[in-house]
A and B are shown apart, each in its own frame.
Chain A
Amino acid sequence: MAKPIELEVNGKRYAVHYAPDTPLLYVLRDELGLTGSKYGCGEGQCGSCTVLIGGAPRRSCQIPVSAAAAKPIITIEGLEKDGRLHPVQQAFLDAGAFQCAFCTSGMIMSSVGLLQGNPNPSQPEIVQFLQGNICRCGTHPRIVDAVRQAAKMMQEHGR
Chain B
Amino acid sequence: MSDITGKFVPEPERFEFSAAAMHHFELARRDFFKLLGAGIAVFAVAKDAMAMQETAPGSRSFHGEELPKEISAWLHIGEDGSVTGFTGKAEIGQNIRTALAQTIADELRVPFESVRMVTADTALTPFDAGTFGSRSTPTMTPQFRSVGAAARDLLIGVAAKEWGVASEGLIAMNAKVTDPDSGRSLRYAELARGKTLAQSLPAEDPITPATQWTVAGKPIPKVDGRTFVTGRHQYTPDLRPEGMLYGKVLRPPSFGATLNSYDDGAAKARAGVVVVRDRDFVGAAAPSEREAQNALEAIRAQWKESPQISNKDLFAYLKRNASAKSEDRFRKEKGSVEEGLAAAAHRLDATYTVAYIAHAPLEPRAAVAQWTDGKLTVWTGTQRPFAVRDELAGLFHVPESSVRVIVPDTGSAYGGKHTSDAAIEATRLARAAGRPVKVVWSREEEFTWAYFRPAGVMEVKSGIAADGTLTAWEFHNYHSGTSGIETPYVVANQRTEYHQVPLILRSGSYRGLAATANHFARETHMDALARAASMDPLEFRMKNLSDPRMRAVLDAAAKSFGWPRKKMQEGQGFGLACGAEKGSYVATCAEVSVDRGSGAVRVVRLVEAFECGAIVNPDGLRNQVVGAMIQGLGGALFESIEFENGRIKNPHFASYRVPRFRDVPEIEAILVERKDIPSAGAGETPIMAVAPAIGNAIFDATGIRLNGLPLVPNGLY
Contacts and interface: CB of A to CB of B under 8 A. Distances in A.
Nearest to A102: B411
Contacts, number: 165
A136 B230 CA distance: 20
B654 A141 contact: no
Interface stretch (B149-157, B316-324, B357-365, B466-474): B357-365
A43 B651 CA distance: 11
A100 B652 contact: no
B232 interface: yes
Interface of A: 19, 22, 26, 29-30, 33-43, 45-46, 48, 75-77, 79-80, 85, 89-90, 92-93, 96, 98-105, 108, 126-128, 130-144
B93 interface: yes
- Nearest first, the 5 A-B pairs at minimum CB distance are A36-B231, A100-B93, A138-B630, A102-B411, A138-B627
A35 B624 contact: no
B661 A144 contact: yes
A137 B232 CA distance: 20
Given A38-B363, A85-B229, A130-B661, 9 more contacts: A35-B234, A39-B364, A79-B230, A85-B226, A100-B410, A101-B93, A102-B235, A126-B661, A140-B630
A35 B440 CA distance: 14
B717 interface: no
Given A36-B231, A93-B221, A46 B623 contact: no
B230 A36 contact: yes
Nearest to B359: A136
Given A99-B623, A134-B658, A108 B229 contact: yes
17 contacts: A35-B237, A39-B237, A40-B364, A43-B443, A89-B229, A93-B225, A96-B221, A99-B94, A100-B409, A102-B362, A102-B412, A127-B662, A131-B660, A132-B660, A133-B660, A134-B660, A140-B661
Main secondary structure of the interface of B (DSSP, over half): loop
A38 B362 CA distance: 9
A30 B287 CA distance: 10
A28 to B, nearest CB: 11
Contacts of B440: 39
Contacts of A141: 626, 664, 667
A143 B623 CA distance: 11
Main secondary structure of the interface of A (DSSP, over half): loop
B228 A136 contact: no
Nearest to B411: A102
A35 B240 CA distance: 10
B412 A85 contact: no
Nearest to A31: B288
A136 B360 contact: yes
A134 B362 contact: yes
A128 B235 CA distance: 29
Nearest to A140: B664
Interface in B226-265: 226, 228-235, 237-238, 240, 246
A132 B335 CA distance: 54
B652 A93 contact: no
B560 to A, nearest CB: 16
Contact of A131 (B230, B288, B661): B661
B68 interface: no
Contacts of A127: 661-662, 664
Nearest to A136: B362
B678 interface: no
Nearest to B362: A102
Given A40-B362, A41-B443, A134-B653, A35 B231 contact: yes
A126 to B, nearest CB: 8
A100 B414 CA distance: 11
Contacts of A132: 660
Interface in B83-122: 92-95
A24 to B, nearest CB: 13
Contacts of B630: 138, 140
Contact of B222 (A33, A96, A105, A140): A96
Nearest to A99: B93
B442 interface: yes
Interface in B625-674: 626-631, 652-654, 658-662, 664, 667
Nearest to A107: B229
Residue among A76, A79, A102, A103 having the largest count of chain B Cβ atoms under 10 Å: A102
A43 B237 CA distance: 17
Given A33-B240, A46-B362, A93-B221, A41 B230 contact: no
